[in-house]
């Protein structure tokens, strides 16, 4: 289960993204410190360069060094971008369809990859609709206001999945900050991305694209449980 509200439950990619963020911050702070230091030096220096015309070597380096820095930022960023699109070999396909104003979820076993157990073989697909829970009910249960739903999506933890996101009416956005996922749900188009939660947890998200009057009232809740129990749960449903 979840340890507290807002666990970070990313797969292996999340670690790379955090590392990249730290790297960018390091470079940015170094540049800022250097520029401010040079600014101070120029402000307080007593020399005046009235007859100064050019310094070729200095100009060469202040062109080359920022260029190298940009390349250094670009390269790991490209690797991350590549892996953010790389769906690998998913065992389950998960589909989220934005509707005015709720989410429809579909779960299908990926038939191209071997399933985890024999009982999973027989399972094909199932669908649920997930509305925001009645406020009074949320209060009486001590849930999260505007975040809890009547039907939680259940998904296997620590398993490679592919998420397909689409919409049946207007633009929505499927956002799960704790999974580092935010993808637009566009009518007539399916966005595909890899999805993997590194641990069992309950993850909250919200629609993140203004989609009408009830935009604020179509939360997303996904409960990640061990795959063994997930398969049992699917069997019970069928």
Binding site for ligand CUA (CB under 6 A): 98, 101, 172, 207, 209-211, 215, 218
Q: Is the peptide bond before 162 cis (omega within 30 degrees of 0)?
A: no
> Quick one: 154 or 207, whose CB is closer to ligand CUA?
207
Residue 170 beta carbon to ligand CUA: minimum distance, rounded to whole angstroms: 7
Residue 178 beta carbon to ligand CUA: minimum distance, rounded to whole angstroms: 19
Could you give the 3-state DSSP secondary structure of residue 231?
helix
Residue 224 beta carbon to ligand CUA: minimum distance, rounded to whole angstroms: 23
> Quick one: 22 or 212, whose CB is closer to ligand CUA?
212
Contacts with 116 (C-beta within 8 Å, 6 or more apart), sequence order: 91, 159, 227, 228, 231
Residue located via tokens 């990619």: 13
Parallel, antiparallel, or unpaired: how do β-strands 153-156 and 219-225 relate?
A: parallel
Radius of gyration of the chain (CA): 25
How far is Cα 136 from Cα 149, in angstroms, rounded to an integer?
Answer: 12
DSSP 74-137: HHHHHHHHHHHH---S-SEEEEEEEETTEEEEEEEE-TTS--SSHHHHT--EEEEEEPBPPHHH
Residue 177 beta carbon to ligand CUA: minimum distance, rounded to whole angstroms: 15
Other beta carbons within 10 angstroms of residue 167's beta carbon come to: 26
> Quick one: 10 or 172, whose CB is closer to ligand CUA?
172
> Quick one: 138 or 173, whose CB is closer to ligand CUA?
173
What 8-state DSSP symbol labels residue 6? T
Residue 91 beta carbon to ligand CUA: minimum distance, rounded to whole angstroms: 28
> Quick one: 84 or 170, whose CB is closer to ligand CUA?
170
> Quick one: 100 or 116, whose CB is closer to ligand CUA?
100
Residue 180 beta carbon to ligand CUA: minimum distance, rounded to whole angstroms: 20
Residue 89 beta carbon to ligand CUA: minimum distance, rounded to whole angstroms: 31
Helix residue ranges, H only, the chain: 12-44, 56-85, 118-121, 135-141, 227-237
> Quick one: 7 or 169, whose CB is closer to ligand CUA?
169
């Amino acid at each position: 289960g979840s340890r507290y509200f807002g666990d970070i439950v990313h797969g292996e990619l999340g670690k790379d993204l955090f590392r990249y963020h730290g790297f960018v911050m390091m470079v940015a702070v170094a540049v800022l410190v250097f520029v401010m230091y040079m600014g101070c030096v120029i402000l307080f220096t007593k020399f005046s360069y009235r007859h100064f015309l050019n310094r070729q070597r200095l100009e060469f380096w202040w062109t080359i060094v920022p260029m190298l820095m940009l390349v250094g930022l670009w390269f790991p960023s490209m690797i991350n971008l590549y892996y953010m699109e790389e769906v690998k070999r998913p065992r389950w396909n998960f589909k989220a369809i934005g509707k005015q104003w709720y989410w429809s979820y579909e779960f299908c076993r990926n038939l191209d990859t071997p399933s985890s157990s024999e009982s999973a073989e027989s399972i094909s697909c199932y669908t649920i609709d997930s509305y925001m829970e009645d406020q009074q009910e949320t209060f009486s249960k001590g849930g999260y206001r505007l975040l809890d739903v009547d039907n939680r999506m259940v998904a296997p933890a620590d398993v490679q999945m592919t998420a397909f996101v689409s919409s049946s009416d207007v633009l929505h956005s499927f956002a799960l900050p704790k999974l580092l996922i935010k993808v637009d749900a566009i009518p007539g188009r399916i966005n595909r991305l890899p999805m993997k939660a590194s641990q069992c947890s309950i993850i909250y998200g919200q629609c993140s694209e203004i989609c009408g009057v009830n935009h604020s009232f179509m939360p997303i809740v996904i409960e990640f449980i061990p795959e063994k129990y997930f398969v049992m749960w699917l069997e019970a449903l069928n």
